[in-house]
Amino acid sequence: MAEIIYVTGPVRSGKSRYAVERASAWGPGVVFAATYLADPRDAEMTERVRRHKEERPADWRTLEAPEDVAGALRGLQPPPSGLLLDCQTLWLSARLDRSDEALLREWQELLDALREAPYPALLVGNEVGWSPVPESAELRRWRDLAGWMGQRSAAAAAEVWLLVAGCPLRLK
């Protein structure tokens, strides 16, 4: 059974940088599963994507927003030395056309597949529960789903880290 590490925290807390540092220990051949929309919608998001790409080691392979992460990973040759998925909240944002039940089932299926994988996985997700209650029903739904997904990721993980102001705090 593969080890899963879950890294969470607020926006701009250093989660992605910490995750890249941790995953770099797995050596060459790490696969980065980028869950952002493959076609960023604006210049600011395009710049974010560019910066994140520059922060990753050059010998890593990238899967950009695969519809079926587990299926896409099964087809990779050679198999990766590890997987870094960044991030689960963007994964959720790209799939909000599905029912809550379908989204949670798909996320659980991915977690189950990662537990059975022959390599470690590091998942990054935003901790959004500390912010104000959003005014719109759509944003409240997204926040609730992100929270439920975070709970499932933490339950599946051998290690859980909270990043605040660039400082990692081990929760599990």
Q: What is the pLDDT of residue 39?
A: 61
Q: What percent of the chain has pLDDT over 70?
A: 95
52 among known catalytic residues? yes
* Confidence bin at 36 (pLDDT 50/70/90): low
Mean pLDDT lowest for which of 45-49, 113-117, 122-126, 128-132? 45-49
List, for residues 65-112, the tens digit of each pLDDT value: 667 888 888 778 888 999 999 989 989 988 999 999 999 999 999 999
Q: Which of 149, 132, 164 has its CA nearest to residue 10?
A: 164
pLDDT at 37 over 80: no
Q: Domains along the chain? A: 4-170 (3.40.50.300)
Q: Out of 49, 52, 64, 104, which one is annotated catalytic? A: 52
Q: What is the pLDDT of residue 67?
A: 75
d(CA 130, CA 61) in angstroms, rounded, equals 34
